[in-house]
Structure 1
Amino acid sequence: MPKWLKILLKVLGGLILLFVLVAVGITIYVANNKQQVLAQVIKKLNENLDGTLTVGDIKPSFFSNFPYVSLALKDVVIRDRQFPKHHHTLLASKDFNVSVNAAALFRGVISINNIGINNASIDLYTDSTGYSNTAVFKKNKKDSIKTEKNEGNSSTQLKRFSLANVNFTINNQKANKLFNFAVDQLNGKMNYPDTGWHAAVHLNVLAKSLAFNTKRGSFIKNKQIQTDLEAGFNEETGKISVKSNNFDIGGDVFGLNALFVTGKGDDTFAFHLTNDKLLWRRASALLAPNIQKVLNRFNLDNPIGVKALISGSFGGGDPYFYVSALVGNNRLTIPGAVIDDCNFNAVFTNENIKGKGFTDANSIIRLSNFKGSYNNLPFMIDAGNITNLEVPIATGNFKSSFPATNFNNILDSKVAKFTKGSVDMNLNYKADIINLTLNKPVVTGSINLANANISYFPRNLNLTNTSISLNFVGNDLLLKNIRLQSGQSIVRMEGQVKNFMNLYYSAPEKILIDWQVTSPQIYLAEFIGFLNSAKPSRKPAKASNNGDMVKRLATVLNSAKADMHMRINELHYRKFLATNVNADLLLSEDGIRIKQVSLKTSDGSLRLNGNLVQKEKVNDFIVATTISNVNVSKFFYAFDNFGLTDLTSENLKGYLSARTSTVGSITNTGDIVKHSIRGKVLLNLKDGALLNFKPIKSVGKFAFPFRDLNNITLSALNGDFDLMGDKITINPMEISSSVLNMDVAGVYGLSNGTDIALDVPLRNPKNDAQITDKEELKKKRFKGIVLHIRAHEEEGKLKIGWNKNHK
């Protein structure tokens, strides 16, 4: 072995032996002077305390933190002077390990370089008056200066620190804050540049409570936090900065930048958190219960990007929140609906107006570039806001364009179906939010439907090439440029609804649409579906979630009233043709009120008013009619002879005027219910004629076999009839004709029960044709032989005979 190596080994061996002897010496020294050393440690630790620190025992451990001597303190307790009042111990530790400088220890000076706290409880308590048990560290400055002069200017600089199995609590009763962590492991290394200190920390804790306001609950409650972070303190600014790139909260990793400002009276904090891939439900689980409850009614299937700023004061008050989120290619679930292909930017802050406080009332949610699809209905919201979360108000602008057939995905199959057309929407809205549902929105803007084919099932109505423009102005609805086509019928309409938006949600049955309707021609049979009673429920819809939108719309369509002012060039219904039609109608859920109708038909005119009451299969009507100078043959033909079989359009000539007041029933297909008509008919026939009228021909064969009864002219005829189902009561009526005169009275049965009395003079009225004096004509009318005939029904057959009951 070389000589130099032998010498080196001897030196190293000597040094090791020296260290061992030193360690043994220190251990012996501490063991033999335990009380003295313990007193020194307690004295050193009490230098900056304004309270009490007690230590149960002390044990040395030289090699655990070589070259420093480790002192294991047992049952360490630190309490402030006010402990008897509030009973919150600042520190209670079963194991409190302190590393001290060995050389300084021999000089009687404790220099602490490392502190480890294990199996402990730390409770930083502030009562409702603002007093804190951390006042234990606020010793009088004069005493501190005196101590420094007596013991030198050396200061204790902590190199390392650690906590294990420690319950750490910040309980601020005045500020309503409660932070509580179960520290599994916390290790830190510190160095001291000129500006202050710097620390590298590994952290593994369970966040039991992070309540910035205990009245609102805790954030990240019962979430495990693991991270490695860097912290630094600047003595000049009093700021502590913290940074971490792997701040793991319950399995979700965030980027963290935090800033704490101390030493200026009101200590403040600010946390910046970022996460590019955070699930919605995972995010809501980090928030306070009152916020979770709301957010959990929503969901986003895919992760989103989130940035959050939380700042405030440790001295009290709610913190400031500013949270931004980036949502892309996502699926959004909201109460009552699902929105696919969802993309938007969102911002939440609880300080909408600077200086108004960090409150729900001053909070806002801003949405921008919101795009999505609801049941294949694509839409976009350029900018939308929800303000005042105490009484939320939603505002924004809504745009959408899509094929009208996409409506079929949300329409009930019993309401309507689109087979063609396009829809364009551009709306601005403002609405209260109640239970997360828009309530009574104020909408401005337009909805345009173009070139649409629609089947509206409740009214059995089919429309083609239909265009509608809805314009919302304040609470009113204006309906413009409406074109409806059903078969050969073409209708153009303009309308308005006052106070539409309020009534739509609260009282749809009170909605009144004021229509102006024009048409070159209408074939009424193509709109016969309006005779059907509405199939959906008649009960008004209550305010509900978006999922009931279709039901609400169906209710509104069937409950609303329509005041229609119609101007129609030609109106067709089966054999009936009318021109220059002017009609004022009121359509409601229960039926149709005919306020006034006037028209030209059968070379004359007709006016009527009345009501149609809709029922399940048969509809009741009441109609008052004034007929003026119509061609009676054409008129009977147009109305299919009013259900008469013996008297038809082929039996009549002349010009008819009449007044009727009738009630009856009509089917949903537009047919008069047989024998349902009751009422009164007053008629006047001028220049009339009866052609081949069987009842008179039957009488003529018996009484006037040699007269021509095929063409009986009537200069004038006035009739008074009572309609009673299948019976027509003929009130006494004089008939003066070219063939015979007669007085008629009785009952004409449409199916049976005919019993008519006829008084027929035998003299030929041709002989009186030259008489112009009415009185003379009346006297001669019944001169000569008069036949009293009875036409009545027996056993289903009409029998003609003498009227034995004539007096």
Structure 2
Amino acid sequence: MNIRVVKKTLKYAAIILLSLIILIVGGAFVVGYFYSDKVTTLVISELNKRIDTEVTTDKVSFSVLKKFPNASIEFENITIKSSKNIHKNDFKKTNADTLLQAKSLFLEFNIIDIIKENYTIKKINIENGKINILTDFYGEDNFQLWRNEIEKDNSSLKFELKDLQANNTKINIRNLIKGFDLRSNVKKFKLSGAFGSEAYFLESNFTAYIKRFAIDNIVYISEREVTTDVEMKVIKDTYSINRGKLNIAGMRLDIAGTINNNEKTEFDLNFKGKDLNIKTFLSLLPDQYTKNIDDYESSGRFYFDCVLKGELSKYKNPKIDVKFGVENGNVKNKKSNLELNNISLTGLFSNGDKHSSATSFIKFENLKSALGKSEFSGNLIINNFLNPLIQLALNTNLDLAEINNFFPIDSVEKINGNAKVLLKYSGKFTDFKNISEKDIQNSQLEGDIELSNMNLKLKSSNYDFTNFYGKGNFVKNNLSIESLNFMIGKNDFAFQGNLKNILNYILLENQNLKMNGKLSSENFILDEFIHSSESSSEQAILPKDIAFNLDINVKNFTYDKFVANQLSGAIYSEGSKLVAQNVLFSTMQGNVNGDAAIELKENGSLHFQCSANLQKIDVKKLFYTFDNFGQSFILDKNLNGKISAAVDYSSTWDKNLNIIPESVLCDSKLEITNGELIDFEPMTKLSSYIEVSELKHVKFSTLKNEIIIKDRIVTIPLMDINSTAFNIQASGTHNFDNEFTYRVKVLLSELLAKNAKKAKKENDEFSYVEDDGLGKTSIYLIIKGNPDNYKISYDTKSVKENIKQNIKTEKQTIKQILKEEFGLFKNDTSLINKTKEDKKIDFNNQKVNIKWDEENPDKVNFDDD
């Protein structure tokens, strides 16, 4: 090709293009110059006559270039108020006062029409705006803009819309009667067609971010991007969709059908989706239902077929039927790499015969899946979305380790084993968001559960629960356990009974679990629980929301050095109190039976009380087992014999399970048979006063006494220790600081008395001895101090009669306190209330103080105050 010809052609083309530009710009200038004011004035005048609501704008301008090839009138920062009849207070959190706000609103005209003085609006364009289309509870809307009384006139301003566009505009549509709620941010919206014709093709393109789309508060789309591409044929008021594509967050649906908008609006539409992605479909659900969806990835075939048919009006909704299903589905946990595979199900959703939430239902049928060794199958039906009726049938065989790795439970640190569950459930709820106790009570639950080789470690517990084997069945709100065997540490347990109110306990707050049955154990080692706990009284007893009534049977029970065999009884909880009744066990070659109770107080302390009978307990083993009761004055090596006792005891423990000494109250009637005191140091030191070798090893057949504990003091009333060689009478006090005072009377046989007098002549010379007239001699002594530093001195016999009476009075006081606080000694006739006549004499007015002279033990001073 000749280069000169090419250059010449390009030159002519450039000249022509430049001429066209000059012509267009010139023409635009001419049109703008001659027609701007006329068109603008006409449009404003006509709109003022026709619009029946307030309109404000900052500026109105005419332009040929902004929307070229069309001429346009631009309203800058325009606001159109809602029509007057709407009830604005019906709308919460919505600006019902305004129909439209926009940075720019353009009315577009054909330039040639303007030159011909044919002022016809062909297109409306909204940019950077906000539109509220509202219908209140009374059926009044906010978009009735035109005056009804305007008669047909011969104005040259006409509307022949062929294009309606909106860009970067928020569109909210709310119909309170229908429960319709759409909130969207529209990136691009275009609606084009010959709107004024009786028959034409209409195209719609829509790209928006849907914040919320709900009907009757059922959310169908939330926080998702939606695009549409629709072509339809319009004949009068009937719209037939020839091509319809809907894309919701990547899920593509085909749309077909008709919309009739004649006297009433009727739909006959079909939405279909094939080979859809499961994850995409699940992501369309509201976030509160899919919080952990990002931890999983899915594959498989999902299908969707929706029919929308019927009238849409103020008081009617169309019928909605949706069929869906999954085939060859797989869901993988990205953290554990475990995969739930071979998922299959068929489903159906419908808004029912009345097309409302109350008649809506959803079904999941023929659900099947597998996870490693675990298998699932079942059906689920939910009827009535306002007051849901839930029906569930479930059949599973679970590997618990795999299940927990796939669906992690926050409270579980580790779990393994197997569980078989066969359940049927039916329950109706008045409000699914606020489940009530009545809802659960009216539910029906039945089925079987079987555990095998299950092991469990909870994050909040220091214990390992192992070797679970059990069978049970659900009946309504209860779980009946046929057998359940398990271990906690080295402790084995077997349970048979019922767990009542179990559904309420699991699903509701502030509910109690009630446990009835039999609990047995071959070996129960209490040390494991005490040492594993945090030594807190709140953790030392069962939680307040678990109530139980159990018959217990423990073959071997141990705690530290304490060992009990064949322990049996009944234990039950009552609020914050734990009670044990008819407890029996063998220990230390004897037997024990009794009752006990422990109660958690509001300040966190524990109050303990018990009433027990001991029969022929080995004294040496008793002292050894309890580490000589925390004292070193008399040790297990110093004792032999069998003890029987009736004990009433109470005390309070602080939050750290330490006994509060001042709270201890005790009354113990005891009897020791075949007793021996062996190398008891205070007894051997009596040889300084009584030269008798038998004091090193005292044997006696029977010792009876009643021990009182109050105000940190152990009070020992007068008691007799009888042997063939001599008898000893002793009494005294021993406080919790290990300080004691004992008064001892030694009654010697005639032979031993002579030996004592020979060895200690001062006994006779200073009258520390007494002859009872039957050939036996008594010596009075005081033992006072503490185990590391005590003294023995002679006592005087002048106050011996007062000792017994003082002890008796103290004993009666203890009994009265225990009776009033804990209901003990109910059958003790010695606690009869005094009559008014008995109270006439006031012995408290006669105060007598007895002062012992430590330097001269014989001297006793009686002082009247």
**Which TM-score band applies after superposition, normalised by the shorter structure?**
0.5 to 0.7
Letter in 2 for 1:186: G
Matches within 5 A, 1:206-605: 225-228=228-231, 242-244=241-243, 246=245, 253-259=252-258, 268-276=266-274, 305-313=303-311, 317-326=316-325, 328-329=329-330, 341=340, 343=343, 345=345, 347=347, 349-352=349-352, 354=353, 357-370=354-367, 380=376, 382-400=378-396, 401-404=398-401, 407=404, 410=408, 417-418=413-414, 420-429=416-425, 430=427, 432=429, 442=443, 443-455=445-457, 460-486=462-488, 488-506=490-508, 508=510, 510-528=512-530, 559-586=545-572, 590=576, 592-605=578-591
Q: In 2, Cα distance between the equivalents of 1:781 and 1:669?
A: 59
Q: Which residue of 2 aligns with 1:786?
A: 778
CA shift in 2, pair 1:266/1:656, >3 Å: same
Q: In 2, Cα distance between the equivalents of 1:418 and 1:296?
A: 25
Q: In 1, Cα distance between the equivalents of 2:365 and 2:359?
A: 20
Of the three residues 632, 635, 645, the one matched with 2:619 is 632
Q: In 1, Cα distance between the equivalents of 2:787 and 2:588?
A: 39
Counterpart contact for 1:323–1:348, Cα < 8 Å: yes
Q: Which residue of 2 aligns with 1:803?
A: 795
Of the three residues 163, 166, 170, the one matched with 1:165 is 163
CA shift in 2, pair 1:213/1:567, >3 Å: closer
The answer to whether structure 1 residue 186 and structure 2 residue 186 are counterparts is: no
Q: Secondary structure at the match of 2:733?
A: strand
Q: Secondary structure at the match of 1:645?
A: coil
Letter in 2 for 1:312: G
Q: Secondary structure at the match of 1:801?
A: strand
Counterpart contact for 1:94–1:118, Cα < 8 Å: yes
The structure, 1 or 2, with the larger RCO (C-alpha pairs under 8 Å, 6+ apart) is: 1
Q: In 1, Cα distance between the equivalents of 2:241 and 2:698?
A: 116
The answer to whether structure 1 residue 621 and structure 2 residue 621 are counterparts is: no
CA shift in 2, pair 1:421/1:250, >3 Å: closer
Q: Give the count of matched residue pairs.
A: 616
Deviates further, 339-348 or 316-325: 339-348
CA shift in 2, pair 1:262/1:418, >3 Å: closer
Q: In 1, Cα distance between the equivalents of 2:176 and 2:785?
A: 105
The answer for unaligned runs of 5 or more in structure 2 is 1-84, 86-106, 113-119, 126-134, 145-159, 167-172, 754-770, 800-865
The answer for unaligned runs of 5 or more in structure 1 is 1-85, 87-91, 98-115, 134-161, 191-196, 334-338, 539-554, 768-778
Counterpart contact for 1:459–1:529, Cα < 8 Å: no
Over aligned residue pairs, what C-alpha RMSD do you find? Answer: 5.9
- Aligned-pair distance for 1:516? 0.4
1:665-691 deviation digits (Å, cap 9, x = unpaired): 679999989998542221012233333
Of the three residues 625, 634, 655, the one matched with 2:642 is 655
Letter in 2 for 1:226: D
Counterpart contact for 2:415–2:455, Cα < 8 Å: yes
Counterpart contact for 2:619–2:639, Cα < 8 Å: yes
- Aligned-pair distance for 1:797? 1.1
Counterpart contact for 2:750–2:775, Cα < 8 Å: no
1:68-93 deviation digits (Å, cap 9, x = unpaired): xxxxxxxxxxxxxxxxxx9xxxxx99
1:253-306 deviation digits (Å, cap 9, x = unpaired): 53223146899x9884310111236689998999xxxx9798898968769543
1:312-349 deviation digits (Å, cap 9, x = unpaired): 0267610011123445445899xxxxx98585646453
Q: In 2, Cα distance between the equivalents of 1:117 and 1:251?
A: 37
The answer to whether structure 1 residue 204 and structure 2 residue 191 are counterparts is: no
CA shift in 2, pair 1:663/1:570, >3 Å: same
Of the three residues 671, 676, 685, the one matched with 1:698 is 685
Q: Which residue of 1 aligns with 2:758?
A: none
Query: Which TM-score applies when normalising by structure 2?
Result: 0.57
- Aligned-pair distance for 1:493? 0.8
- Aligned-pair distance for 1:634? 3.7
Counterpart contact for 2:346–2:366, Cα < 8 Å: no
Query: Which TM-score applies when normalising by structure 1?
Result: 0.61
Letter in 1 for 2:304: V
- Aligned-pair distance for 1:418? 3.5
Q: Secondary structure at the match of 1:708?
A: helix
Q: In 1, Cα distance between the equivalents of 2:584 and 2:412?
A: 33
Counterpart contact for 1:713–1:739, Cα < 8 Å: no
| Identity level (%) | 17
Letter in 2 for 1:786: S
1:420-470 deviation digits (Å, cap 9, x = unpaired): 533343333346385658776544334443223344676643343233445
Q: In 2, Cα distance between the equivalents of 1:455 and 1:176?
A: 48
The answer to whether structure 1 residue 645 and structure 2 residue 637 are counterparts is: no
Matches within 5 A, 1:654-803: 654-664=641-651, 678-699=665-686, 701-724=687-710, 727-749=713-735, 752-763=738-749, 784-793=776-785, 797-803=789-795
Q: Which residue of 1 aligns with 2:56?
A: none
Q: Secondary structure at the match of 2:429?
A: strand
Counterpart contact for 1:231–1:243, Cα < 8 Å: no
Counterpart contact for 2:513–2:546, Cα < 8 Å: yes
Q: In 2, Cα distance between the equivalents of 1:460 and 1:177?
A: 53
- Aligned-pair distance for 1:755? 1.0
Letter in 1 for 2:364: L
- Aligned-pair distance for 1:580? 2.6
Q: In 2, Cα distance between the equivalents of 1:364 and 1:595?
A: 54
Counterpart contact for 1:644–1:750, Cα < 8 Å: no
Q: In 1, Cα distance between the equivalents of 2:413 and 2:502?
A: 24
1:173-204 deviation digits (Å, cap 9, x = unpaired): 9999999997633389x9xxxxxx9x995623
- Aligned-pair distance for 1:359? 0.7
- Aligned-pair distance for 1:396? 1.6
- Aligned-pair distance for 1:559? 3.2
1:614-672 deviation digits (Å, cap 9, x = unpaired): 69998653222111233333444444433343434433333321011223467999998
- Aligned-pair distance for 1:732? 1.5
Counterpart contact for 1:200–1:228, Cα < 8 Å: no
Q: In 2, Cα distance between the equivalents of 1:217 and 1:763?
A: 102
Q: In 2, Cα distance between the equivalents of 1:802 and 1:721?
A: 25
1:384-406 deviation digits (Å, cap 9, x = unpaired): 12221112343323455123486
CA shift in 2, pair 1:483/1:780, >3 Å: farther
Q: In 2, Cα distance between the equivalents of 1:531 and 1:312?
A: 66
Q: In 2, Cα distance between the equivalents of 1:477 and 1:765?
A: 77
